[in-house]
Structure formats: C-alpha cells, structure tokens
C-alpha cells in the first residue's frame, strides 16, 4: 500500500514539476537528494555523538526528519538566491513537459519514500493497523532500495576512498537504533531491573536486517 501511495504522491509532483519548469524542478531534485543523503548518513553519527537526541521514543525519527529538512531549507535558500531567483531558463514546450514530469516523478517518489521510512522507524509503526498499511521494513523494500540507489550515487562521488559504509548499512543502523531491545536480567534473588543496551556504534560490523536470510 505504501508503494502505491508513493506512486500517487509522485503523480502530484509531476503536476507541480510541469508548472515549475525543468530548471526549477532539477534544482529541487538535487536539493532533495543531497538532503536525504545527509539525513541517512548523518543521523546515526549525530545520535552517537548526542545520545540524548535519541532518548525519547520518537527521537530517532525526529532526528532523521530534522537532519533532512535543515539541509534542504539551506540548499533551497542558496539555490533561490543564486540560481532560480536570478535566472529564468526556457526550454521547448515538449522538453519542459516530458523531462520536467520525469524529474518530478523521481523527486516525488524519493520524498514519499523518505517520509514512509521516517514513519517506519517511529514507534507508531508498531501499531497493528499502521504496520498492516505497509509501514514495516518488509513492505518498505522497494522504497528503501530507491532511497539507497540515490544515496549510493552521491556516496560514490563524495565519500572517502576508505569509507566502507553503504547506504543499506546506514538504513539498517537506523532500524537498529530506533528499536533497542531492553532485557530484564534475573538472578537467584529475582529481577535486577531493566538494563539499557549500549547504542550501536558506527564502526561496528553490522548485519543488514533488511536483506533476506
């Protein structure tokens, strides 16, 4: 169901893109891709540096959302001041409609996939109805793969040669952090109370829970 909701949202972006024009929607897509990449890779790092940010039940989801919205607003402001607000580039009508619509669809599917990922790692996804609607890691495979494709594309350009963390590992880390397991240790005298697990570190070797066994 989430996949088809993403398709529907992409259709709305196609309409918006045709109204905006090719140059503007290309700039928007670029800003969205960079923002999503920053959110996926920086959120685990920020939560590792500032554990208090993830202490609340919605901490991970909020950090992920803010880490995407912040860079997008900054990039959008810079783009408007130096590009879209200063220049108006016109293309042939057929070119504007076809390519603008294509870029709008790509941008819309990326935005909706990121929103659904944010909802999936939030506690609300544990609700039976929400999970049945498709907000779970199994149903999110097409959307997560699409996000990871864009992130891997950016990562191949900007990452250091010795960086071995892939986008799938970064997404898996988000799922790990957002769903910590607390165990009650017991001994012969009874329970000792809840023990908070250590937060996973970025340099740990991670098993990808999103991949099939």
Write out the chain's pLDDT in tens, 213 residues: 788 888 999 999 999 999 999 999 999 999 999 999 999 999 988 988 988 887 888 999 999 999 999 999 999 999 999 988 887 888 888 888 999 999 999 999 999 999 999 999 999 998 998 888 889 888 889 999 999 999 999 999 998 888 778 899 999 999 988 875 433 333 444 444 444 445 554 444 345 556 554
Residue 193 lies in a domain: no
Distances in Å between the Cα of 108 and the Cα atoms of 9, 136, 200 are: 6, 20, 32
Structure tokens at 69: 């919205």
- The answer to the question of residue 47 being in a domain is yes
- Into how many domains does the chain fold? 1
* Residue 99 half-sphere exposure toward CB, CA atoms < 13 A: 13
* 184 bridge partner residues: 194
**Residue 208 located in a structural domain:** no
Asked if the structure places residue 9 within a domain, the reply is yes
Query: Degrees (nearest 5) of the Cα angle 165, 167, 171?
Result: 105
Can you say whether the dihedral through the CA atoms of 168, 201, 52, 76 is positive or negative? negative
For residue 137, the model assigns a pLDDT of 85
Q: Domain for residue 205, yes or no?
A: no
Check if the beta carbon of residue 115 is closer than 8 Å to that of residue 35. no
Whether 124 is in a domain gets the answer yes
Burial environment of residue 19 by CB neighbours within 10 A (0 to 12, 13 to 18, 19 or more): exposed
Domain assignment present for residue 106? The answer is yes
In a domain? residue 197: no
The Cα–Cα gap between 102 and 199 comes to 41
The residue range of the domain holding 45 is 2-180
């Amino acid at each position: 169901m989430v996949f088809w909701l993403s398709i529907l949202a992409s259709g709305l972006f196609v309409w918006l893109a045709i109204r905006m024009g090719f140059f503007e929607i290309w700039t928007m897509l670029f800003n969205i891709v960079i923002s999503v990449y920053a959110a996926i890779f920086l959120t685990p790092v920020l939560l590792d540096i500032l554990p208090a940010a993830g202490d609340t039940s919605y901490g991970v989801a909020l950090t992920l959302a803010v880490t995407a919205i912040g860079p997008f607003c900054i990039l959008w402001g810079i783009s408007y001041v130096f590009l879209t607000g200063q220049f108006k580039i016109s293309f042939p009508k057929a070119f504007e409609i076809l390519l603008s619509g294509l870029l709008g669809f790509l941008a819309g599917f990326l935005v909706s996939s990121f929103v659904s990922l944010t909802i999936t790692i939030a506690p609300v996804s544990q609700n039976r109805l929400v999970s049945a609607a498709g907000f779970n890691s199994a149903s999110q495979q097409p959307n997560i793969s699409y996000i990871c494709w864009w992130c891997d594309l950016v990562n191949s350009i900007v990452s250091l040669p010795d960086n071995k963390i892939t986008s799938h590992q970064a997404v898996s880390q988000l799922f790990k952090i957002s769903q910590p397991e607390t165990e009650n240790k017991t001994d012969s005298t009874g329970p000792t109370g809840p023990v908070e697990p250590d937060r996973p570190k970025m340099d740990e070797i991670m098993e990808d829970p999103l991949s099939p066994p």
